[in-house]
Structure 1
Amino acid sequence: MTKRFAQPLVAALTLTLSMGISAANATLAPAPVYSQTMLDVVTALQQGHYNQVAFDDSLSSAVLDQYLETLDPERSYFYTSDIAEFEAYRNQLDDEILAGKSNAAFDIFNRYQQRRSERIDYILTQLDHAEWDFSLDESLSTDRSEAPWPVNQAEMNELWRKRLKSAVLSLKLADKTADEARDILRKRYQNQKQRMEQTKGDDVFESFANALTHEFDPHTQYFSPQGSENFEINMSLSLEGIGAVLQAENDQTKVVRLVPAGPADKGGQLQPADLIVGVGQGADGAIEDVVGMRLDDVVSKIRGPKGTIVRLEIIPADAADRQKRKVISIERNKVKLEEQAARKRVLELTRDGKPFRLGVIEVPTFYIDFAALQSGDPNYKSTTRDVEKLINELRSENVDGLVMDLRNNGGGSLREANELIGLFIQRGPTVQIRDASGRVDILGDFDPKVVWDGPLAVIVNRLSASASEIFAGAIQDYNRGLIVGNRTFGKGTVQTLQPIDHGQVKLTHAKFYRISGDSTQHRGVEPDIHFPSLYTVEEIGESSLDRALPWDQVRPVRHGRFPSLSPFMQQLIDRHEQRTAQDPDFVFMRKQVAHLAEQKDNSMLTLNEAKLRAEQERNEAWMLQAENERRVGLGLPPISQLSEADDDLPTDDQGRPINPEAEAILAESGQILLDLIDLSISHTAAAQPLRTPALSAE
C-alpha cells in the first residue's frame, strides 16, 4: 500500500489533496516570480539539505509520480489516457526545474481542474436524480492507491456512483435520512466547487515544489508567502484552540498528536490517529461536514476564542467499525506552559506482602524558557531543573525506584534532552549530530553530579519522538535503566527554516545518532520489553512516511557503561508475560490490537445496508463483550452499552480523565522495575549492585 505524503503542520498544506482547483473553463499559468523561486528552492536543496539527490531523469520520474499522487492519490480523477499523455514529461521535469520552469506542472494541474470539475458536476447531478438500492451485493475498494486509473467515462462514472452510494450509506447508518444525506453531500460538493474557483497560481506552484522537496525527505517543504504566514500562525498559536496538530489524509482530517496539557489532551476524548469528519460551533450548533475540505479551512473552523465550545464529529482510531462516528465537545483554551511542566506522583505497589513506593515523573515535552535564561533570570524554567527538583522531593519520600514517563512526548529542546541524561550518569557523551557535509558533532554531559543513581525505568510509546528518543537511547546505551513500552516514532532528523524571496523552505539539514553509532531515524528506539499498542508502524511514525531518510550508523563514541542488564533480561520478559497473561487490562489491549488488525486487512467495503449494519452490530457486540470481560476481571460492574465506559472514568488532580489502559501500562512498568530490583538483589556476588554509579570503559 502506497503511503501518503502528509506534512503534519496543519494549515501550511494547500493542495496536497484534491481540494484546491479552479473552474474547468479557466486555466492557470506560471507567474514570472515562480522562475526565480524555483531556482531558489533548488539552491536551498542542493546547498542545505542533508540528503544529496542528483537532479537527473530518475528524480524527474519520481517527481512526476509524486505530483500525480499528490493530486490524485486514489486514482479517481485522471483517465488512463491522461496519464499516458503525461508520460511525455517523465524525463523532462528535472530540466524544467533547473531552468526555473513549471509549465508542465500547470499543464497537468489544468487537466486535473477539468477532471475534478467533471466529477463534481456528475455527483451533483446524481444527488438530484439518483436513487440507491442498498439491498444489492456491491462493494467498494477503500484503497485505490495502486489501482489502475479508469479507462473511460463509463468506468469513471461507475467508480463515482459507488463512492457516492457509500457516502450516502455511511450517513444513513449515522442516522441521517435520505434527504438529509443528500443535503449534506450536496453542500459538501458545492463547497468544493466554490473552493476550486478560489485557487491561485501560488497554490499550484507550492504543490509542485513540494512534489520536488518530498523526494528529498518528508519533512522538507516549500511554503508560499501565504503558506508561510499560515505556518507561522500555527507555530505561534500552537498552544491555543484545542491543542491538536492535524494533517490532511485523503479527503479527511487526521489527528497527528495532542499538545500536552492542551484542552483536547485534558478532555481525553480525542486521540492521535482519530479522523475528524465534522465540526460544530457551540454546545448545540449544527455539525458541519468537513470531509473533502481543505486542511486550513478545517483548522480555521476548529479554532476560536478562549472559553468557547467546539464540537467534533470523529471516527475514533480504535473503532473496530470505521463507519461508526461519535461527537465530542472541547472547550477552547490556551495551554498554560506551567501545565506542560514535568510532574510527579508516587506509585504504591505490593510484592509478596511487602509495600513498595516508586516515584513516577511524567515529562510531556522538553521545554526551556530561553527568554528568561538569556535575561539572566536565575529561576528560569526548564525540564532538567524541574525534574531534578522532583527527584529530590521523591528521594525525601523514600521511593524505591524511579519511572520516567515519556509517553506521547514529541520532543523539544535538544539542550534539555542532553542535560536530563546528565542527571542519571556521572559524565559522558549523549548524542551525535551529523550535518550534510558529514561532520559529526558530539554533545555530552560534563557535570559529574548524579541526581538519581537508583533503579530506573523509562516508558516510551510510538508518539515519543526526537528529544525523547535521544534520552531513551542514551539511557539504553549506558545500561542505565530499562526501556519499556513501544518502538518510538523514529524522527532522527533536524530541520531549519530558510527564507527566500517568495516564501521559505523548511530543510532537513542534520541527523541524530546515538552514542552507540545507531541512528534514531526511521527505526526509533526499540524498548527492552514491549507492550501492546494500537499505533502501528504502518500508520504512525517516521517509517510510515514515504521518502523518510533511512536508518544508518556512524562510528560509536567511546563511552562508559553501567553493569549490563542482560543477565536479567529474559527473566524480566518471562515475568512480565506471565503476569500480564491474566491481567484484565493487558488481555483487553491485546485482543483489541488483534481485532483491529483483522479489520484493517479488509480493504473492501460492502454497499449492502443489511450486511454493513450486521458488521457494525458484530463489531459493537465484540467491543462490548471485550470491555465487560475486562471490567469483570477488575471487579467492576458490566455495562450495557459502550458509551457507559467513558462515564465512570476517574480523573486526575487536574480533572483529566484517567485512561485505564495507560494506568495499566504504568502499573506494569512499576512491576517490571520491582522485578529488576528483586533480581539485582538476588544476583550473584559477581554482579555490580544496581546503585553503583561506576562505569566500565569501553
Structure 2
Amino acid sequence: MTIAENVFPRRQAFSGSGKKLFRTLTVTLLLSTAFGAQAKLDEANKVYKPVAPTIEQARANILIARQLQFTHFRDLSINNQLSDEVFNAYLDYLDGQRIYLTKQDISKFDNVRPQLGSALKTGQLQPGFDIYNLVQERIIGRLKFALNVIDQGIDKLDFSKDESILLDRSKADWEPDTAALDELWIKRIKNAVLAQRLNGTDDDTIADNLKRRYEGQLKRAYQARSEDAFQAYMNAFTGMWDPHTSYFSPRVSENFNINMSLSLEGIGAVLQSDNEYTKVVRLVPGGPASKQGQLQPADRIVAVGQGDEKPVNVIGWRLDEVVDLIRGPRDSVVKLEVIPANASDETVTKTISIKRDQVKLEEQSASKDVIHLKRDGKDYNVGVITIPTFYADFQAMQAGDPNYKSTTRDVRKLIGELEQNDGIDGLVIDLRNNGGGALQEANDLVGLFIEQGPTVQIRHANNEVQVMKDEDPSVAYDGPMVVLVNRMSASASEIFAGAIQDYGRGLVVGSQTFGKGTVQAVRPLNHGQLKITQSKFYRISGGSTQHKGVIPDIEIPSRIDKNRIGEDALDHALPWDQIEAVPHTRYFDFSNVIGELRKRHDQRFAKSPDFKLLQREIDFLNKQREQDSVSLNEDKRRSQYNQIERTRLTIANARRELHGEKPFDSLEALEKWQDAQAADLDKTDEEMDFVIKEGGYIMADMLDLDHNMASIITPHQFAAQAPAK
C-alpha cells in the first residue's frame, strides 16, 4: 500500500476538485516524507563542535582559586589529592549515573587526573574542556543508539526475560566497553517502556514520548556552549570546599533572585542541578507551589509545559534555562512533569499543574490557633503560633513605615491576642518546613522569650567570633513552650530552636533539623560571580548547627528521607564542631522530667490511630527507598506495581476512614480527588494536624507534672532560674 492509499484508502470516491485536493495532499505527504528522511540523514551526519575556554574564563578561574584558598571558611590546599577529587566530582556532574562513559574512556585521562589542581590554580582550563567534550560526544552517541532502538520498534524488545536494572548507578562500576553500554541502554529503554505501559499508555504513544525525550536531549547536546563546560568545571572545583560554594555564570548572574536563592518567580520553589535533572530543594512558604500541595522537596523535574501545550523535556538542560521555562506571567499555568521523591524508579512520573502568582508577604506571615485540652478534669488552653519563614518588610522599614511587617512584630502581637482572648497556659511555636530567612529576625524572636542575652555565635574564616545578642530586657511571654521542627527546618529556624533549647526556655519536639549552619556571600568576578561560604553558626552552648542541626528533646518520625534531604546528605558539607560556650541563663532544667515526658508521649503515640497510620506510611516509603533495582520482566513488574498501588490506596482510605470520610473505590478516584484538592488554592486545613496536637499534649504533660511534683517550678517561675555554671 502506498502512503496515499494508507491515508486515503478509498481513492475512487474523489472526483472533480476532490481529485485535485487528493493530488495536492499526496504530493504534500510525499514531500513531507522526503524532508523527514532528509532531516534524519542530516541528524545522522551532524558533527559535535567541541567547545573551548576563553581568556575571560581563564582569568575568572584564577580569581576563583585565590578566593577559595584565602577567604573560604574551610582551609583546603589545592594539591594532588584535591586533583583526584575534582576529577571524580566533575565526572559525577557530567555522568553521575555512569551511563555515557566506559572504563576505556576514563583511562584516557589517567595522565590528566593528577594535574587538574595545578592547572586550576593557573587558569589552564583545557583539560576540563577535553573531558567535557568527550562526555558530550558520548552523550550524542548514546542518544542516537537509543533513537535507533526505538525506530526499530519497541515491540521488538523482549520483556519475558528474568532481567533487572539498578535504579541508582552513582556508585556502580563503569561499564568496560561500548558493547556493555549498549546492553545497559537497552535495559534503560525497556525500563522506560514498562513504566509507561503500567500507567496505561499504548506503545505508539510510548515510542513518541521516548523519541521526543531523546531528541530533545540530543538537540541540547549539540548546542553545548563554552559557558556550560566552564560552569560545570568550576562547580566541581568549588564544591570541594562545601556544597554551598558555587560559581554563577554571567547569564545566571543577570537576575539577583535566581543568583542568590534560585527562587522561581511565579511558583515559589528553590531548585538546584542534580546530575542531568533539576531538583526541588524546598518550597517558598505562601507560594503557589506550596499552596498547590503536590510538588515536594527532592522531586526531580523532567519536563515543563505551558498551559495546554505538550511539556518540553528538560533532562540535561542548564538550570537557568529550566528556570526561564518555568517563569511566566501571573495567573498563567505551568505544567511540571516530575519524578516524585518517593518514586520506585526514575521512569515513574506525575504531572503537576501550578498557576503562577507572586508570593505575597502576608501569606508568609505568622498565624495563631488554640488547642483546648482536658486533663484529669482540668482545662488547658495551649496557644499555637505557626511561623512559615523569618521575614521582614525591609522596604517599608527603610521608608519609615511604623507598621512594617516582620516575624518578631507579628509574633509579639499574636502572643498578646492569645493571652488576652484565650488566657493560654502554654505556647507551641511551629517551625516545621521553615527554611530560615532574616537572621536578625531569629535573634529578635529569641528576645521575646528571654530577658537579655546572647542568641547565636558567628565564626568567620579568620576565626574571629561574633556574638549576636538580645539587648531588650522586656519579655513577651514567660510561660512554658514547645518548639516543633522537622527536617525542612533550617538556618534561622535552627538558630531559634537551638537557643530556646540552650536557655531551657522550652522543649524542642519533632525530627532532626536540616543542619544548614553556614553563611555565604556573593563576590563579583571579571566573568560571573562566586558564592562563597565565609562564616559558620554556633549555638550559645558552643555546638554548631552545621551538619548536625538541632536534635529534638522528643522525637516524632517523619516521612522525609534524611538520606536524601539535609546537610549531612550533601557531599563535602562542612563538619559539625564546637567552640567555647558563652555565658547564658538556664531558665529550666528538663533533665528531671524529660524521661517521664517521653514515656507519656510514647504511650500516647502507641494508641494513636494517626501515628499508627503515619508509621505505616513511613514503613511503606522506606521499603520503596530500600529497593535498589526493578524487574524488566513485564509480568513481575506489573505484579509489583499493582501491589504498590494497592498499598497506596489502602493507606489513603485508612486516613479517610480515620476522619469519617468515605473511602475511594479505586486509585483513579484517589488521584482525581488529589488533583481537585491541588487545584483548589483557596482551601484551608479544617482540622489541625495531629503533630501540633501532640505539641499541645506534651505541654499539658509539662503543666500536669508541674502541678504534681514539688521539684517542678510553676509557669510563672519558668524564667527565673539562676544562670548555668
> Normalized against structure 1, the TM-score is what?
0.92
CA contact (8 A) 1:136 1:608 kept: yes
Distance of 1:99 and 1:312 partners within structure 2: 42
User: For residues 311 and 405 of structure 1, do their structure 2 counterparts lie closer, same or farther at Cα, with a shift above 3 Å needed?
Assistant: same
Q: Distance in 2 between matches of 1:102 and 1:316?
A: 37
Deviations 1:306-356 (A, max 9, x none): 111223333433456876544332211111112111111222233345443
User: Which amino acid in structure 2 is aligned with residue 399 of structure 1?
Assistant: I
In structure 2, C-alpha distance between the alignment counterparts of 1:146 and 1:609, rounded to whole Å = 27
Offset of residue 181 of structure 1: 1.2
Deviates more, 1:482-491 or 1:254-263: 254-263
Tell whether 2:265 aligns with 1:240.
yes
- Asked whether the 8 Å contact 1:77–1:112 carries over to 2, the reply is yes
1:195 to 204, 207, 220: 220
- Say which one has the larger Rg: 2
CA contact (8 A) 2:217 2:314 kept: no
Deviations 1:130-189 (A, max 9, x none): 421222221111111122212122111101111111112222222222111111111111
Residue 292 of structure 1 deviates from its aligned partner by: 4.2
The residue type paired with residue 444 of structure 1 is K
Higher relative contact order (CA 8 A, sep 6+): 1
Q: Could you say which residue in structure 1 is the equivalent of 2:334?
A: 310
Q: Deviations over 1:385-444 (max 9, x none)?
A: 111011101110212211111111111111110010000011111100000011111111
Distance in 1, matches of 2:350 and 2:83, equals 44
Q: Counterpart in 1 of 2:403?
A: 379
The yes-or-no answer on 1:219 pairing with 2:221 is no
Kindly indicate whether residue 54 of structure 2 is the aligned counterpart of residue 31 of structure 1: yes
Change (3 A) 1:254 1:174: farther
Give the match for residue 403 of structure 1.
428
Residues 1:87 and 1:56: Cα distance change in structure 2 (over 3 Å) = same
Cα shift at 1:495: 0.2
- Of 286, 305, 308, the match for 2:310: 286
Question: What residue in structure 1 maps to residue 9 of structure 2?
Answer: none
Cα drift, residue 371 of structure 1: 2.6
Secondary structure of residue in 1 paired with 2:108: helix
Alignment correspondent of 2:81:
58
Relative to 1, partners in 2 of residues 1:687 and 1:350: Cα closer, same or farther, differing over 3 Å? closer
> Given that residues 57 and 94 in structure 1 are in contact (C-alpha distance below 8 angstroms), is that contact kept between their aligned partners in structure 2?
yes
Residue among 535, 539, 545 paired with 1:520: 545
Partner residue of 2:569 out of 540, 544, 560: 544
Determine if the alignment matches structure 1 residue 267 to structure 2 residue 292.
yes
Aligned to 2:124: 101
Unaligned runs of 5+ in 2: 1-44
Report if the CA contact (8 A) 1:78-1:150 is conserved: yes
What TM-score do the two structures reach when normalised by structure 2? 0.89
After TM superposition, the structure 1 = structure 2 runs for residues 14-25 of structure 1, keeping only pairs within 5 Å, are 24-25=47-48
- SS of the residue corresponding to residue 46 of structure 1 reads helix
- After TM superposition, the structure 1 = structure 2 runs for residues 633-644 of structure 1, keeping only pairs within 5 Å, are 633-642=658-667, 644=669
1:124 paired residue among 125, 147, 158: 147
The separation in 2 between residues aligned to 1:434 and 1:407, in whole angstroms, is: 26
Q: Kindly provide the amino acid, as one letter, of the partner of residue 227 in structure 1.
A: V
**1:655 is matched by which residue type in structure 2?**
D
Query: 2:443, 2:469 within 8 Å by CA — same for their partners in 1?
Result: yes
- Counterpart of 1:581 in 2: which secondary structure? helix
| 2-structure distance, mates of 1:420, 1:24 | 60
In structure 1, what is the Cα distance between the partners aligned to 2:519 and 2:101?
Answer: 37
2:63 paired residue number:
40
Asked if 2 retains the 8 angstrom alpha-carbon contact of 1:278 and 1:291, the reply is: yes
- Judged with a 3 Å threshold, the aligned counterparts in structure 2 of structure 1 residues 230 and 192 are, in CA distance, closer, same or farther, namely farther
Q: CA deviation at 1:515?
A: 0.5
Equivalent of 1:658 in 674, 685, 688: 685
1:258 corresponds to which residue?
A: 283
Mapped contact 1:321–1:619 kept (Cα < 8 A): no
Q: Distance in 2 between matches of 1:625 and 1:322?
A: 24
CA shift for structure 1 position 691: 2.5
Alignment of 1:220-619 (within 5 A): 220-229=245-254, 232-233=257-258, 238=263, 240-282=265-307, 284-318=308-342, 324-397=348-421, 398-619=423-644
Unaligned segments of structure 1, at least 5 residues: 1-21
Taking the aligned partners of 1:525 and 1:579, their CA distance within structure 2 comes to 24
3-state SS in 2 of match to 1:51: coil
Task: Mark the CA change 1:54 to 1:156 in structure 2 (over 3 Å): closer, same or farther.
Answer: same
Matched letter for residue 720 of structure 2:
A
Total equivalences in the alignment: 673
2:165 is the counterpart of 1:136: no
Pick from 128, 148, 173 the counterpart of residue 198 of structure 2.
173
2:94 to 71, 75, 79: 71
Aligned partner of residue 86 in structure 1, secondary structure: coil
Identity of counterpart residues, as a percentage?
48
